Every structure is written in C-alpha cells, then in structure tokens.
C-alpha cells in the first residue's frame, strides 16, 4: 500500500516544492520510494502552471536535490488520496483544515516543523519569495531538519500498515 504525502505552501513555487524535493530524496535514501509518494501544491492558484522559482531551483541544485515541478492548487477532493498533508506555516495549516471535507481529513494536516524537535515554538517556515537568496537557504535548512523527523513518522505509519 502506498503512503501519500503532499506539501503545501502559498503558491507552490518556493517552499512546498523544496520540501517535496528534499523529502523525496530522504525517501529514496531510506529505500522507501516504492512505498511513499510525494507531491506538493499551493493554497492559492496564483502560480498554477508555473515552474519552481529559480532561486529555489538554484539552492536545491547547489545542495544536490533535483526538481521537476509545475505549480498547482490544492483541491479539497485530494484529501481522499493523501495520507498526510504537510503545511509549511500556520496560515496554510488553518486554510487546509478549513478545506478539509471531514474531521478525519482535517487531522491529516500537520505543520512540517512540528517534526523538528529543535524548532521550539516557532513552527513556521518563512516565505522566502520577497527576499534574497539567504531566505531560500534558511528555508532549506528548516526543511532538511524537519524531514528527518517526518521520515521517521512516515516509516512508523508504514510499519503500522504492514502489521
């Protein structure tokens, strides 16, 4: 059985494709690529059809991650086909929970940085879109730190499904 994870930010050109790329790499490194599907979307459709922001691509390339991505907007019907929906900040978390057709679907929505024990109380990954390259580097650091814990949680879910 495939476990499906979707990362969601605002426009689906910076943070969520970055998280998707990093998590996909973690899944592949763990040998779970045949069990875990990863994708991403935005809460809005402003950038639908656009490629990943070039600054995101540059930072990912520099750190050894690949990207092949076209922006799209998250749809409420997708909850039925996702096991986990990962929000990049609290605004996305709230928007996604409002979109959720059922309480069960709303419980599928989690904040990415909640999987990073070192994150403390600030669980938002700040939007780097309006800043310089440093913001994209900071975003990547946060994503990398959180995806380790996320992978452990997904692995636990997979083991539970197999039992």
Residues marked active site are found at: 9, 15, 127
Distance CA 52, CA 80 (A): 26
Which strands make up the sheet holding 36-42, listed edge to edge?
Answer: 36-42, 3-9, 84-87, 109-111
Q: Do 16 and 7 form a contact (C-beta atoms < 8 A)?
A: yes
Distance CA 160, CA 20 (A): 23
Distance CA 156, CA 147 (A): 14
Element (H, E) at 42: strand 36-42
């Amino acid at each position: 059985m495939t476990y499906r994870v979707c990362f969601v930010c605002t426009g689906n050109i910076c943070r969520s494709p970055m998280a998707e790329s990093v998590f996909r790499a973690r899944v592949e490194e763990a040998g779970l690529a045949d069990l875990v599907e990863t994708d991403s979307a935005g809460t809005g459709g402003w950038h639908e059809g656009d490629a990943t922001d070039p600054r995101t691509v540059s930072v990912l390339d520099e750190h050894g991650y690949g990207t092949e991505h076209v922006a799209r907007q998250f749809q409420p019907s997708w909850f039925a086909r996702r096991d986990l929906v990962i929000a990049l900040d609290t605004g996305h978390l709230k928007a996604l929970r409002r979109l959720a057709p059922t309480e069960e679907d709303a419980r599928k929505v989690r904040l990415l940085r909640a999987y990073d024990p070192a994150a403390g109380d600030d669980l938002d990954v700040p939007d780097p879109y309006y800043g310089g390259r440093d913001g994209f580097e900071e975003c990547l650091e946060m994503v990398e730190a959180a995806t380790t814990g996320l992978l452990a949680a997904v692995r636990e879910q997979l083991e539970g499904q197999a039992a």
